[in-house]
């Protein structure tokens, strides 16, 4: 199964988000790749639109949050807990995106606390990893493995088992006209898959690529990655259709 995810970040207002979700539901329920189980879709809207997105998309498309609090309850003004996210029907929590680290000062310790909080709430953590500077794929993989190990450290310490998702997003490729080179993505993603395969309690954990991902990339890296994590490219539902078309062609060949 190929995993295709979309983060809407903060580009849409509430009404536009729900309109987009309705379009994606119509697309997903009619598309051969989704109907056959070749592709699994998930969407990450902003917090105010989560309940509406769940109502529109469930159970055809999974819905998750772009962040969550480190704690389950308490005096944390402006925060949203994993417990509440799970209660309204979310199944995924994105953690450690480069923008959260850069703009909001999220440290590796905070990322690790949030991963543990997601597991505690029954959510699948979507852990974002990626190097800041464009170097060799071997150097990138070393950075990403260290980030992954750090992100999982508290969950391991506290006995939280289960699958997660890992999104490889090289920081230098985010928002660029083109993604990272296919051979670079393939080596890093395969290395992350290998590491997850070595962890006995993380079976079935997919690795997806984000960072200016678009049509054609999946065809080049399909053997080494479990899917794509889309950003602005997916704002047009027809672009999501083109990616699902690509998945169907790959699985039918």
Question: Which residues are catalytically annotated?
Answer: 97, 169
3-class secondary-structure state, position 104? coil
Buried b / exposed e over 104-129, threshold 16 CB at 10 Å, is eebeeebbbbbbbbbbbbebbbbbbb
For 193, the token pair is 């898959």
Query: What separation in angstroms does the CA of 28 have from each of 31, 57, 108, 248?
Result: 5, 9, 36, 13
Q: Taking the C-alpha atoms of 185, 188, 189 and 191 in order, what is their torsion angle to the nearest 10 degrees? A: 150
DSSP per-residue codes, 57-91: HTTTSEEEES---SSSSSS-TT---HHHHHHTT--
Nearest in space to 3 (alpha carbons), one of 214, 208, 238, 151: 208
Buried b / exposed e over 163-202, threshold 16 CB at 10 Å, is ebbbbbbbbbbbeeeebbebebbbbbbbbbbebbeeeeeb
Cα(148)–Cα(226) distance, rounded to whole angstroms? 17
């Amino acid at each position: 199964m190929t995993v295709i995810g979309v983060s809407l970040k903060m580009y849409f207002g509430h009404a536009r988000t729900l309109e987009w979700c309705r379009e994606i539901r119509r697309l997903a329920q009619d598309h051969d790749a989704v109907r056959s189980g070749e592709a699994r879709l998930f969407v990450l809207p902003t917090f105010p639109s989560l309940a509406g997105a769940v109502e529109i998309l469930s159970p055809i498309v999974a819905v998750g949050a772009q962040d969550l609090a480190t704690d389950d309850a308490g005096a944390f003004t402006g925060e949203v807990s994993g417990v509440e996210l799970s209660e309204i029907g979310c199944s995924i929590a994105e953690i450690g995106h480069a923008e959260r680290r850069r703009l909001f000062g999220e440290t590796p310790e905070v990322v690790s606390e949030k991963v543990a909080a997601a597991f505690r709430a029954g959510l699948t953590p979507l852990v974002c990893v990626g190097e800041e500077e464009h170097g060799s794929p071997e150097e990138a993989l070393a950075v990403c493995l260290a980030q992954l190990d750090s992100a999982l450290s508290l969950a391991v310490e506290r006995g939280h088992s289960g699958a997660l998702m890992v999104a490889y997003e090289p920081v230098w490729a985010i928002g660029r006209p083109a993604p990272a080179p296919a051979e670079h993505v393939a080596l890093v993603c395969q290395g992350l898959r290998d590491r997850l395969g070595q962890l006995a309690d993380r079976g079935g954990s997919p690795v997806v690529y984000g960072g200016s991902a678009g049509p054609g990339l999946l065809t080049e890296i399909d053997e080494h990655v479990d899917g794509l994590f889309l950003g602005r490219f997916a704002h047009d539902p027809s672009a999501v259709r083109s990616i699902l078309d690509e998945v169907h062609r790959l699985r039918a060949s």
